[in-house]
Every structure is written in C-alpha cells, then in structure tokens.
Chains A and B, each alone.
Chain A
Amino acid sequence: MPYAEHKFKSTTIEKGYNNRTLYVNLSTKEIKEKPVDVKMKETFTGGKGFDLWLLWNSLPGGKITKWNDPDNELCIACGPLGGTTLYPGSGKSIVVSISPLTDSIIDSNVGGFFGPYLKFAGFDALEVQGKSDRDVLIIIDGEKNEVRIEDASDIPEDSHLMVPKIADRYAEGNPRGLSTVSAGSGADHGLWGCLNFSYYDLVRKSYHFKQAGRGGTGSVLRDKKVRAIVVRTGKTSPDINHPADPEKLKDGGRRYTAQIRELDPKQNEMAVIGTSHLVTIMNDYDLLPTNNFKFGSHKDAPNHGKEAYRKKFHPGYDGCWMGCSVACAHTVKDFVPTSGPYKGQKVWVDGPEYETIAGCGSNLGVFEPDFTIEMNFYCDTYGLDTISVGTGFAFVMDCYELGLINKKDTDGLELKFGNREAALELLHKVAKGDGFGALVGQGIRKMKGLFAEKFGADPKMMADIGMESKGLEFSEYMTKESLAQQGGYGLALKGAQHDEAWLIFLDMVHGYLPTFEKKAEALHWFPMWRTWFGLNGLCKLPWNDIVPPENKKLPEPAKVMQHVDWYTEYYNATTGHKANLDDILKMSERVYTFQRLFNLRLGFGKREHDTIPYRAVGPVTEEEYESRKERYDKQLKEKGILEPDGKTTKEKIAALRKYREEQYELLKDAVYLRRGWTRNGVPTLEKVKELEIDFPDVMELVKKNQ
C-alpha cells in the first residue's frame, strides 16, 4: 500500500509546455498539481526559472529557511525545448534547492532521462517539500497517470545497485521507459551529496548516470528521506513537444546534427573522448589544478589525458539524451575497484570527465587513470560530487603537508599529495561519516572552522588556500593569471562553478578582454547567454564545443553567433514566439537577477559575498611564487608595483597581493555597473522594474537593500 497516492489526467504538451507542475509534500503526504499561467511562462520561461519561482513561493515569509528545514524544496524541471530528440543536447534537467554548502540557492544542470520523462508524464516541474519519517520512493507513473509515495526500506542505498532493483519492480518490461533520481549512502553522512540521474542504454542493456553534482542537492534528497524519485513513461516521439513549427524545428535539428557529425571529429572528438581532451591543454597553459591549485602543470599530466581515456572508454554511443550527436558522456566497462565495499567486483563507471580527472587526479597529485576512475565510481554510487571531493581532498592534503593538521587528526591517514591509498580510504570514511571523514564531508567552508577549533590549525592560512567561494568548492581551473576568470568564479551566483563564464582563454590567450569594461561586458553577456540553456532544458556543449566554419573570422568568435541564431530559431519554432537575441538575453536576465535577489532573501547576495580565496588570485606561499617567478617579477616591474630586484620573495608576494586584490575589487565595481546593480551588488529598483520582476515582496526586499 502506498503511503500516499494521487491520480492525474493525461495531458498533451503544447508548444513545449504541459502548463502544470507537480507538488509533493513528504511531511503531510499531500500531492497536488499546480497550474502554469501565461505570466509565469513569460517571466520565468521554464527550467531553472520555474524552479526558482516555485521555491520562492513555497518558502514561508518572515524567516530564513535553512537547507535541512522541512520547508526547503528540491525542485527539478526540464524546459520548453527539453525532450526534443531532433535537436542535439535537448534533454537536460535543472535542479534547484537551498544548498547545505552555501545556505543559499544552488542550481545544477544535468543529463539523463528524468527531466524529459517528467515532462512526458505530464509535468513541467516537480517540487518536493517536507520530510518523510522513513525511507521512501516517489513514483511518477505516466503510464498509469498516478503519483505514489511508497516504502523504500528494501531498496539498496548505493545508486549502481539501487536503480536495477527499482527497475525490476517498476519498469514493467520497458527499462528504457524508466528514469530515476537518487543519491547514495555517502549523501546521508555529509554535505557533498549529489544526485544521479539515470538513463537506460539499449545496446549495453544497463543503466548509466549523469550527476547534478554541485552544492549538495543529494544531501537534501536524503535529508528528506527519499531514496529515489522514479518517473515512468511510454511516450517518446520526435514531435512530443508539439512545436509551433515542426518542419522548421526538424530542418534546424538536421542541420545542427550534420554539422556536429562533420566537425567534431576534426575538432575536439567529444564523441570519442569527451572532455578529457582538455587535460593536456590546461596542463600546457599552466591552468591544470595541481596539488590544491598551487601549480598549473605537472610533467606526468600527459599520462592522464585524452590518449589514456581513449583506451579506457568503452566504444559505443554515449549520449545522455536521445538524438544528441555530441554524445560526450563516456563509460568504462568492467572496472574492478581495488578498495571499499565493492572491491574486486566488475562495475560500469560513467566518466570521468575533465573536472573529475583534474579534481580527483592532478589536484591530489595523482596521475593514474585507474585511481581517478575508482574515485569516480565511488563518488557516483555513494552520491558524492566529484568536484567538491577533489577540491576538498586537495585542501585537506595541503593542510596536512603544511602541518596545519597531522596524522593523529586524520585517524592515521598520511594525507600527502600523491597518496592514492589514503585518498581512497578517506573517501570511504567520508561516505560512512566515520571519524575524520565526517569532518571532511562537511565541505571546505565548515572544515576551516572545524580544523581551527579541533586541531588549532591557522585560520588565516586556511582562508587563503581553502578553494571555495560562497561555500561551494572551486571547479577545476586555475585562475591566478586571469582576472576575468576570477570574476567568472567569484561573481557566479551559486559559488565557484565555471558554468556561468569560462573566460580564461579569451582573457589570457586571445587577449579580447584588456579593460575592466571588456571584462565586465563578458561577465554580463556570457552568464546571461549560458543561463538561457538552463531555462530551456538544454546542454551548452553543442553551442561552443563544436565551432562552425567561418566562426573565427567573425567579430566576436567566442560568442559563436551562428549557433546563437540557430538556438533563437529553435526556441521560436517550438514556442511560436518571435523572439530575437535581445529577447532571449532578457529572458535570462530576468531569472538571473531574480536568483541574485533570492540569495539576498536568504541573507547573502551582496558584495561581501562575492569573495574568493587569495590562492585563486595569486601566489600564497613562497614555493608558489618561485614556481612562476619570471611571470610575477615581470608583472611587478611592468605595472610599477615594486622593483623586484633585491626584494625578498615575501616582500614581492605582499606587493603583488595588494595589487591583485585591488584589481579584483575594481572588477566587481565594473561588473555590478554593467549588470545594473548597486556598488553593494544589489540589483537596483530600476533594473528590477525594467525586467518586470517587480512583485510586491521582491520590491520590498530590494528597497530595504538599496
């Protein structure tokens, strides 16, 4: 007997929308539908926009909701273009919640079949609120037109075992028609929990996963005692979105697919090696995080790049949504872990992608693909974010090598860079919440306080080397020599993730951003454009990881304007609107600005929160300075900061720091001005009115903070 049940009427998607969302409350067992009106679509478009609006309206007024408060929600949405099988990269789900790491809004864009299937089952978004008193499954059955909350006590905890068991019970002979959202046992014991979104591979006859990794959304799921959310549908067809102009959409999709198939083999080979091609580039340009972002390259890094993974990845089609010709998700077959509860068993490992290779590889001082693959497997099945684990473990190893913590503090683990056995053992301890692992699983921001309090570690040094911003661990790019990318991380709404803006090459190699104004323009345009993918259920990779002919001869090649135009056509062909690029960017700006205001509502979202640790800006230690002495000395001299000859390294570090920290503050001023925000980083009343998000409670909030 289900704990709760709700029957719903079948709907037909029209121009990308069902025009309703689904609400599930685990405390009260209430399940209901909510209508989507024209105003909601016009203002928030869909995807992340819907998630934010639903969450905004569901939180109680007059108090600040914390991540583990029953009022917090986990929201998942697709978007009006999501679920299309004719257009590459059109199967994304967007997750929004209050993050346990940042106590503010987190969003995560993820592949797998769940978001499209939720939409095919009849809902544009899902809200899960409240907390269950026992482990449950939420079943959204688009075949039987019912939603149920059921007991999950006999369902395994770890995702690679859990999902086949769920499929045995609910797939009814159609495993391809079922998708799940789950975490794993590790998400029960720390704040780095991620969500695994499943998809069934018809050729390999196995379930695979993509992760909504950032910000601890898996920890939110487990805090609510949800083992998994399951969606089932028998409906998948090329025109299921009932687009306004199906022929135009088909023509556009065919054209884009053909271009990717022609050019990807000549460019980055994403369909063969995924994002692993970035490793050698980042290494050669001194951008590959190594030993907790101390260095940007290592002589052994080429052993850990695309050629290694070309041999490791199992051949075959690896799109995380049907019809995607980029197909960059890759998998390792019959991997045998050397440690932990699944030691000696043959398992599939989905990935690793660049971020995992760098985070759970070079940043820990390890350059062995099998180590990274094992970290990847365990992080996924435990439900832990590989980026936060990689950056978090790198911080711990740095603290250990600097003598801020010792072997007694780490339960006997010798956490030196390069010690792969110790890193794997620490991962299992984090997943179990065991001893020192329980501290580490709280994330870098909390670790800094805990290490100072329990072990007497130096707070100032930890503030400099703890690579988090707003509480979110940095993703895996070095930013010391790119002021623009320092802003790409520090001014990102959710914390240090590069998905708003990746400007390193534009800044350092192409030299397109020489002034504060140019940097600010890039830190406006790119976040606005990239936000749009998350509103519509799309992946950004087809946009600029495959570059069309003639692109480099255009005035602003980084914007890949041919593809921007194609996306605008795609949106119009689906929704029937007549949007131009300005309209598209305004859709994003509304949601982006609203998210900033949501942070403000939760007690953040001001200048003081847009900070980054000094290691993201320049060299903290003498060892770091000396490793790039020529570059730093040259900058001191050329900028007239200090004559380096005859000065000690300590003096040079201090002078460089003062200069670079001032530059970062000037960048903030320029970006806030461009975005229409006050010098304190708050959107102005005029901007809020211009964007038509001037709802009464929003205006009250903005007025209080001008």
Chain B
Amino acid sequence: MAIIECEVRFYGAVTVAAGGTDHAKINLSGTTLGDLLEAIKKRWPGVGEYIDGPRSDSAILVLNEKALEPPDMALKLKSGDILSIMPFVVGG
C-alpha cells in the first residue's frame, strides 16, 4: 500500500490535548481522511476527543485552508495535504 505524508496542525486548546505539539508530519498507510483521523487518535488520544469524542463540538477540521463541513471520511488525501484541528476562529 502506498504511503503518503500529511501534516497535521493543532491550535488553541487542541495543542494542550496533544501534549504541547502544534504540528507534526504523519506517514499514512491509508489514503483517506478517515485513515488520517484514526492515525491522529492513536498517536494523540486527547486530540481524538476533538475529532469524534466529547469535545468534537469545540473544534473544526480544516484541510488545506478549507473547512470540512461536515468531514467526509472517504475523502482522498495526497502527500503534502495539511489538516488543521482548531476551535472556531473569530478574530480579535
């Protein structure tokens, strides 16, 4: 199976749930958004709460600067894609 490399970025309190990590590269053995989210949950269980756990109301998923509303788990990814998990951003 092809391996693709995606970047994940965490913002706001999501970085706290990731133990202070604000960005990381992930080598993914699958090719879909669902595969990437599973990999994130495995590596940072706290972040998993923002994906489909009790904190999921407090975050949005953004792929390459476009919000995923709602996220399509079957969405195909490619190397270099950047997935952000962040609270709703409203400016100062």
Contacts and interface: CB of A to CB of B under 8 A. Distances in A.
Given A268-B87, A278-B92, A502-B92, A302 B13 contact: no
A548 B66 CA distance: 22
Size category of the binding interface on chain A:
35 or more
Given A284-B9, A509-B65, A550 B90 contact: no
A277 B11 contact: yes
Contacts of A477: 91
Interface string A265-287: 11111000001011011001100
Interface string B74-92: 0000000000101111111
Nearest to A503: B91
Mostly, the B contact residues are loop
B57 interface: yes
A502 B11 contact: no
A552 B71 CA distance: 12
A242 B83 CA distance: 50
A604 interface: no
B16 to A, nearest CB: 7
B91 A502 contact: yes
A281 B58 contact: no
Given A278-B91, A281-B86, A552 B13 contact: no
B4 interface: no
Contacts of B84: 284
Nearest to A277: B12
Contacts of B90: 502, 505, 544-545, 558
A87 to B, nearest CB: 20
Interface in B48-80: 55, 57-60, 62, 65-67, 69
Contacts of A412: none
Contacts, number: 78
Size category of the binding interface on chain B:
20 to 34
A547 B87 contact: yes
Contacts of A307: 20, 22
A302 B88 contact: no
A228 interface: no
A510 interface: yes
B24 to A, nearest CB: 14
Given A284-B84, A302-B22, A511-B66, A275 B13 contact: no
B12 A269 contact: yes
Nearest to A509: B67
Contacts of B20: 307
Nearest to B22: A280
A476 to B, nearest CB: 8
Given A267-B87, A269-B13, A552 B92 contact: no
A538 to B, nearest CB: 16
A430 to B, nearest CB: 24
B88 A552 contact: yes
Interface of B: 9, 11-13, 16, 20, 22, 55, 57-60, 62, 65-67, 69, 84, 86-92
20 contacts: A266-B58, A267-B58, A269-B16, A277-B11, A280-B11, A285-B65, A302-B22, A353-B92, A355-B92, A476-B92, A502-B92, A504-B91, A509-B62, A509-B65, A509-B66, A510-B67, A511-B66, A511-B67, A544-B88, A544-B90
